[in-house]
A and B are shown apart, each in its own frame.
Chain A
């Protein structure tokens, strides 16, 4: 299942995924894409694969403030559905009408809030073929509730 956590360090894309270097950024992650989870004084560290279906994806070091025990709890939560329907803005334009698009939950890679807080970026895998980033008409908290029911 998914995990909502504060990512403190993510060594990929030139370390640009974590903007707040002091407090970290909130992400929703897919527990199935996590490997080699270790305890850390801040929570845990692991190798996170953006696309576990792509053999060319080698994973990246990720540190977050959630303990391994709580990651296991999140991994064992049963989602509302094996699919999730995302209201996606065409071309990331928030003035456009969002179009509902349903993806499989096991394709979900990560999500983070738009800087305005009203929309959410979601990245999902087209199986091993491609990674797709979309902007959705919902907050990060609403997305978490939509998937987890919590």
Chain B
């Protein structure tokens, strides 16, 4: 099952640490992550902050050329393990994707395997109604698309098949 993590730092060779931008004034960002890309999950500091975690994350885990990034999150290790052990509602997920990544355009339903989604991040201008989803077509192609769901709704669809259990909106 996907996990919405409170990420405080994401050190990545692809786009540096800009995934947590200075605009995130809280110093963290809610990002939906797919645990099938996690590796080496550890407690971040055994003496001080056992409720926080650090782990490697592979955007494209099927490509042997893909290096990892290091994610620091304000989520305990046990919660990551629980997410990894929780079954999806279906092996497939259908997302309404805006044409040309323009939120003013109509959406087209795309159905994909739940495993191919790497992560989802809020759409800054309208985080309650849109989010970016990054997914991979096998090991071949990275796609970044804008959907008309927020990340909570994507988590709900993955878990229950509908968005009806949405309770919170995502903050920047």
**A interface residues (Cβ-Cβ under 8 A, vs B):** 1, 31-39, 47, 49, 51-59, 68, 71-72, 75-76, 128
Contact = CB atoms under 8 A, between A and B. Distances in A.
B109 A38 contact: yes
Counting chain A CB atoms within 10 Å of each CB, which of B94, B109, B115, B139 scores highest?
B139
A37 B110 contact: yes
A58 B91 contact: no
B140 A49 contact: yes
Contact of A57 (B110, B111, B113, B140): B140
7 contacts: A37-B92, A38-B108, A57-B138, A57-B139, A58-B140, A71-B92, A76-B92
Interface residues on B, range: 20 to 34
A138 to B, nearest CB: 26
Given A37-B110, A49-B140, A51-B138, 9 more contacts: A31-B113, A32-B113, A34-B113, A35-B116, A37-B111, A53-B62, A53-B138, A54-B139, A59-B140
B92 to A, nearest CB: 4
Contacts of A51: 138
A35 B110 CA distance: 9
- Complex A-B, nearest 10 residue pairs according to Cβ-Cβ distance, in ascending order: A55-B139, A37-B111, A52-B138, A35-B137, A75-B91, A72-B92, A49-B138, A68-B111, A55-B63, A75-B92
Interface string B12-45: 0000000000000000000000000000000000
A111 B65 CA distance: 31
Contacts of B109: 38-39, 68
A99 B57 CA distance: 42
- What is the predominant secondary structure among interface residues of chain A facing chain B? mixed
Nearest to A56: B140
A72 B90 contact: yes
Contacts of B110: 36-38
Contacts of A54: 138-139
Contacts of A39: 109
Given A36-B137, A72-B111, A52 B62 contact: yes
Nearest to A39: B109
Interface string B127-163: 0000000000111110000000000000000000000
A64 to B, nearest CB: 13
A58 B141 contact: yes
B113 A75 contact: yes
A55 B137 contact: no
